[in-house]
Amino acid sequence: MSVLQEISQNVRNIKQLEYAALARRATQIQKELSQGVRKPYKELTDVCWGDPHSLGVKPLTFVRQVLAACVYPELMSSHKLPLDVRQRAQWLLGKCEGGSIGSYPASAGIPEIIQRMSKSIARRDGGVPCNPENVFISPGSQWSLTNIIHVLVNDEAPLRTGILIPVPCHVTTITSITSLGAAVVPYFLSEEHGWALQVEELQRALESAKGGCNPIALYVINPGNPAGYVQSRKSIQEVIRFASEKRLVLLADEVYQDCVYGKNSEFVSYKKVLAEMGPPFSDTVELASFHSVSKGFMGECGLRGGYVELVNLDPNVVNYISNLNYDTTSVLAQFALDLMMNPPRPGDPSYPLYNQQTQDIKNMLVQNVKMAHEVVNSLPGLSCQPVEGGAFVFPRVLLPPRAIQKAKEEGMQPDTFYCMRLLEETGVLITPGCEYRQKEGTYHIRFCIMASQDTINKALKHLATFHTKFMKDFS
């Protein structure tokens, strides 16, 4: 069975049987702890998902103040809120019927907010124009991605639609592709070169799909999730040339664009690089780029807000996509998007605190990455490539043969077995690499580092103690 067929057939089972088993056991342990069952630990340490607020990262004050005033407008009469907070809340509510978040918004989203978002995107890209008619808000980046894939899939074609995806890649994306009847075409990032995206591997993946499906799109994640790499401008140019030559639609997941902290790393959007390359690329390469309020410094996962910007797509396709976005995004999520795209600026009353809080989060990420690297790379059988951006580390685990055999006897993937033992013995919940796909014969773990330093310190301390014992037990 080919890798393509294996992923298509087994990804749902992996999601249901691997991580689900860990999640169920974590729920049981939580219940046992609440009932007074004695364990070597007093509480669970869940560093599984990229949910910063659940991991001790404080919400941004400016964001919460504006949203609070929008929900309870009487707060705007209080001078305890900064002037720019009250002015922003008043402006936002002025775009709602009756001045209330409880009223229906315009079907495709609040026009004034979309206009401001497009201007913000243009500023990010150094003045590259952004047409607001090509920006579509949604209940999250994954929702937008699923909609775009839905449009790309041709159910009537003799061959299934294929989407090139990186390995490792989040299982939710893989499930979205396969559930829509498309085929995933995996290309492997080079772990030995810092999880680099190599065009030669894209070519290999495309060749491997011949006769099995018809690849029409290339999905990229920058900054990487779960691998934490940040693409250089040169790398992005190479990918764009490849997409142009092979006539592939580019799907650029850029939700961690604000979280870049590698010393020599810089986020540059695919759209900006595409524009800089000029014709014929800038006029012909089709691109969809995604962002979300769930990620980055805001970390407002519960508000469920995101957007997609379309570049060079056929107007009829754009129109069809616009119809898919009607009545989908809550008013508060749209407000959050405006706050993310248009934060306080120097001179605004809220700017000093906002700047300090975002800088504190960035400093926290830098320290957490440093700690994770030091601990992981000091342990025999664990190694982690440099993490330049995003919210996760994805270390490789060299599991002893006895551990691999024991995992098979218990009906688990080897890295799931490792994670289950970690959970049972320390109360630390992380995810196994098989959730994200990996090269055959390699095993990984993933955990979130966008968390308070206390949380990361505790998780790393438990991991180090557990790993040392685990390797001894199965050596």
Residue with the larger pLDDT of the pair 13 and 336: 336
Residue 27: what pLDDT? 95
Same domain assignment for residues 33 and 136: no
Task: Give CA–CA dist 163/154, Å, rounded.
Answer: 12
Q: What percentage of the chain reaches a pLDDT higher than 70?
A: 96
93 within domain boundaries: no
Residue 3: what pLDDT? 42
Task: Give CA–CA dist 73/55, Å, rounded.
Answer: 30
Same domain assignment for residues 147 and 209: yes
Same domain assignment for residues 122 and 266: yes
**Domain boundary pick from 307, 341, 375:** 341
Give residue-wise pLDDT tens across range 73-129.
999 998 899 999 999 999 999 999 999 999 988 888 899 999 999 999 999 999 999
Beta-carbon count within 10 A of 343 CB: 19
Segment 19-45 shows an average pLDDT of: 93
Residue 12: what pLDDT? 43
Segment 370-395 shows an average pLDDT of: 96
| Residue 67 φ then ψ, to 5° | -65, -40
Q: Please give the distance of CA 272 from its chain centroid, rounded to a whole number.
A: 20
76 within domain boundaries: no
Same domain assignment for residues 23 and 141: no
Same domain assignment for residues 429 and 375: yes
47 within domain boundaries: yes
**Domain boundary pick from 290, 315, 341:** 341
Can you give the CATH number for the domain in which 166 is found?
3.40.640.10
Can you give the CATH number for the domain in which 414 is found?
3.90.1150.10
Same domain assignment for residues 155 and 287: yes
Residue 18: what pLDDT? 67
80 within domain boundaries: no
Give residue-wise pLDDT tens across range 156-190.
899 999 999 999 998 889 999 999 999 999 999 99
Domain count, the chain: 2
Task: Give CA–CA dist 179/147, Å, rounded.
Answer: 12
Same domain assignment for residues 331 and 403: no
Please check the confidence at residue 6 and state whether its pLDDT lies above 50. no
Give residue-wise pLDDT tens across range 10-21.
444 444 456 788
Same domain assignment for residues 13 and 138: no
pTM to 2 decimals?
0.93
362 within domain boundaries: yes
Residue 8: what pLDDT? 45
Peptide bond into 186 cis (omega under 30): no
Cβ-based neighbours of 238, under 8 Å, separated by 6 or more: 199
Strands of 258-366, DSSP E:
287-292, 306-311
What residues make up the domain containing 222?
A: 105-341
Residue 1: what pLDDT? 45
Give residue-wise pLDDT tens across range 131-140.
999 999 999 8
84 within domain boundaries: no
Residue 327: what pLDDT? 63
Segment 332-353 shows an average pLDDT of: 97
Residue 326: what pLDDT? 63
23 within domain boundaries: yes
Segment 318-331 shows an average pLDDT of: 81
Same domain assignment for residues 110 and 234: yes
Copy the structure tokens of residue 134.
């090509």
Average pLDDT, the chain: 93
Cβ-based neighbours of 12, under 8 Å, separated by 6 or more: 175, 178
Buried b (16+ CB within 10 A) or exposed e, 434-472: bbbbbbeeebbbbbbbbbeeebbebbbebbeebbeebbe
Same domain assignment for residues 366 and 416: yes
> Residue 319 class from Cβ within 10 Å (0-12 exposed, 13-18 middle, 19+ buried)?
exposed
Segment 402-426 shows an average pLDDT of: 97
Segment 139-151 shows an average pLDDT of: 91
Copy the structure tokens of residue 383.
């190694």
Residue 20: what pLDDT? 85
Segment 142-159 shows an average pLDDT of: 91
Pairing of strands 396-397, 382-383: antiparallel
Same domain assignment for residues 331 and 362: no
Give residue-wise pLDDT tens across range 194-253.
999 999 999 999 999 999 999 999 999 999 999 999 999 999 999 999 999 999 999 999
For residues 169 and 436, is the Cβ–Cβ distance under 8 A?
yes
Same domain assignment for residues 170 and 34: no
**Domain boundary pick from 286, 316, 341:** 341
Cβ-based neighbours of 342, under 8 Å, separated by 6 or more: 116, 120
386 within domain boundaries: yes
